[in-house]
Structure 1
Amino acid sequence: MPVPAARWPQQLKTDALQPVYLLVGEEMLVLEAADALRARARELGYTEREVLSVESGFDWDDLARAAAGMSLFASRRLIDLRLPTGKPGRDGAKALTAFCEDLPPDTVLLVTCVTWSKKHEGAWTKALDKAGVHVVFWPPRAQEMPSWIGARLARHGIQAQPAALALLAERVEGNLLAAAQEVDKLALLHQGGRMDAATMESLVADSARYDIFRLSDAAFGGDAPRALRVMRGLQAEGEELIPMLGWLVSQLQIALRLAAASDFAAQARAEHLWQAREQLFRQALRRAPREHWQSCLAQAARIDRMTKGREGGDPWRETQRLVARIADPRGTRSLADA
């Protein structure tokens, strides 16, 4: 039976496992779910595990042999079938369907697929659905990332404020593995309780991705020399320009929306800006009117065309000039060109 991913933890609290589990979707989430099932199986006495990895040349008769095999040492067994592509082929589909039609006693079949879409579904998935549990783990969408991070932090007893969650969601830019790693670090550094944005900012990793944040913070904070130093450092370290430019564009768009808002504070809340960043944008908007930020966005669009070869010019040099303009609208071209 299909089970929503959000209900997966409840599935593991039962005292009896289903004979079949099909876990598919985002690799990191599938692997975590499979680990949790293996741990629960051990608790319930499934002490023997046989791993079958489906690769080129895999013999699907191995599944039938595993199902028919008897153990002298364990009464309960887990067959761990790893099907990365989500495509068993004709022989595999037949083998999986046959397994479900004649379920061996005291045996659980776990099938994991880390590549998945609707086109992977077929008669074999219907057979697995009917025999047990089918869970699809889709990655959270951008707007879901803060709540996803919040739920993981809550498992460690940390109640993060919305602004703190928004901060970390921005830092990891949709990278689930990076988000999970940051949550694990935070669990070690922050021993439970509430967490505000300031605490989050002080604890998150200072990585190359974080340097991009430092670049925009320096630029919008009006510190052109520091912003240009950070940018040149990123260039020297081989950082790609396109993600950097994309981040600057997103911040310019925020500045433009704030400049156009009749209620700055309300718009800042809508943008999920924590206090320090709200002050950063206040300073930036005091330095220049709305038209300046529109001009900066137009300049960023020209740089984007340069990166794609649709317009002549040096995109790195022009981005330095853009950063200088963000920091000092009165004119720091000579500083950027230095």
Structure 2
Amino acid sequence: MPARPADLPKLLAAPELKPVWLIAGAEHLLVLEAADRLRARAKELGYLEREVFDADARFDWNELAASGQAMSLFASRRLIDVRLPTGKPGKEGAATLAAWAASPPPDTVLMVTAQEWSKQHEAAWVNAFERAGVVMPIWPLRREEMPAWIGSRFAARGVKATPDAVERLADRVEGNLLAAAQEVDKLVLLLDGALLDVDTLEASVADDARFDAFRLTDAALGGDAARALRIVAGLKAEGEEAIPLVGWVLTQLRALHRLSTAGTNLAQAFRSERIWDARQPLFRRALKAGDTAHWERCLVQAARIDRIAKGRGDGDVWREIERLVAAIAAPRRTAELIAR
């Protein structure tokens, strides 16, 4: 059976590590942290020599096979770290990995990490890893799991947080674990042992440009053009970079466009887009205010702004952002602002 992330402490507490490990999933932070814990435990157990292979499409799998056959230069245990971004090693790679798992070299741990994983990735080499060692798929957290994950992260760092504050932070980061982890680390430093409640959270993120971007899109989707434009003016005055802001707006517009084509199965579409209950009313309002053609025009405008921000187009980037924000907030009154 595949291992679960919750099984990792017990697996690492064993006196000896399994010879092969596969840690894979689209939640890059969780994969990275699990791999870091394995590396740290391997070092404790004397795996002092480490080799890293980036197994992209051009990777020569003979290099890995040769490494398995070579003796350690320093007569120490070795950790072989194979980074397989797609999770698909190809025919040659699959054969190499399966052969390694069938007969692991002594005093060697092979760790394969992948940033993509699904049921379609399961193959003979994965089964070989499961028989010989550990296969740990890491699936995206569900909406209802996010607060507990954030809360446990606070607790591990000695911070007490109220359930309301944890829930609010979960809503703000929209399922982005990296953003959540960064905010937890920042708040731990700011709080210095104090209780985190909703008021403290809001005060702590009031000047955070990333959360200004969240507030901007929420205001625009909710139809509050005046508030959204005030946020744009504030970001401009503070000298914030336009590219990250445009990237976030573009992400929201793409989701909105896909939702606009979902027909009557909107509930399923919200689940697919991972738009949580707290924000669904904003998207429903926007969908009612504008049709698919309007959101397509908004996407074209966002792409144009992105080119301007990156120096590949002409125009005033902040003026064009204002036009786009107004068009999102009030599709019927401002459609001409982005008509081309």
TM-score, normalisation: structure 1: 0.69
Flag the 1:317–1:84 CA change in 2: closer, same or farther, 3 A: closer
Counterpart amino acid of residue 136 in structure 1: P
| Matching residue of 1:3 | 3
Distance 2:286 2:39 in 1: 54
Alignment of 1:298-317 (within 5 A): 301-302=289-290, 306-309=294-297, 316-317=325-326
Q: Rg larger in 1 or in 2?
A: 1
Distance 1:216 1:91 in 2: 47
Flag the 1:303–1:71 CA change in 2: closer, same or farther, 3 A: same
| Aligned residues of 2:17 and 2:42 also touching (Cα < 8 A) | yes
Distance 2:164 2:234 in 1: 29
Flag the 1:242–1:18 CA change in 2: closer, same or farther, 3 A: closer
Alignment of 1:178-189 (within 5 A): 178-189=179-190
| Aligned residues of 1:81 and 1:112 also touching (Cα < 8 A) | yes
Unaligned runs of 5+ in 2: 257-276, 299-322, 332-340
Counterpart amino acid of residue 63 in structure 1: L
Distance 1:225 1:94 in 2: 60
Alignment of 1:288-303 (within 5 A): 297=285, 301-302=289-290
| Matching residue of 1:268 | none
Unaligned runs of 5+ in 1: 249-270, 273-292, 323-338
Q: CA RMSD in A?
A: 3.8
| Matching residue of 2:46 | 45
**CA positional deviation for 1:232:** 4.9
| Aligned residues of 1:182 and 1:205 also touching (Cα < 8 A) | no
Flag the 1:61–1:94 CA change in 2: closer, same or farther, 3 A: same
Counterpart amino acid of residue 42 in structure 2: A
TM-score, normalisation: structure 2: 0.69
Counterpart amino acid of residue 13 in structure 2: K
Distance 1:140 1:299 in 2: 27
| Aligned residues of 2:2 and 2:130 also touching (Cα < 8 A) | yes
| Aligned residues of 2:229 and 2:325 also touching (Cα < 8 A) | no
**CA positional deviation for 1:244:** 7.1
Could you report, residue by residue, the CA deviation over 1:188-229 in whole angstroms, capped at 9, with x for unpaired residues? 22234632112222223733442255559999xxx9966642
| Matching residue of 1:75 | 76
**CA positional deviation for 1:52:** 1.7
> Does residue 3 of structure 2 align to residue 15 of structure 1?
no
**CA positional deviation for 1:29:** 1.5
Distance 1:52 1:162 in 2: 43
Runs of 4+ in 1 over 6 A off after TM superposition: 216-219, 242-248
| Aligned residues of 1:228 and 1:320 also touching (Cα < 8 A) | no
How many corresponding residue pairs? 278
Distance 1:298 1:111 in 2: 43
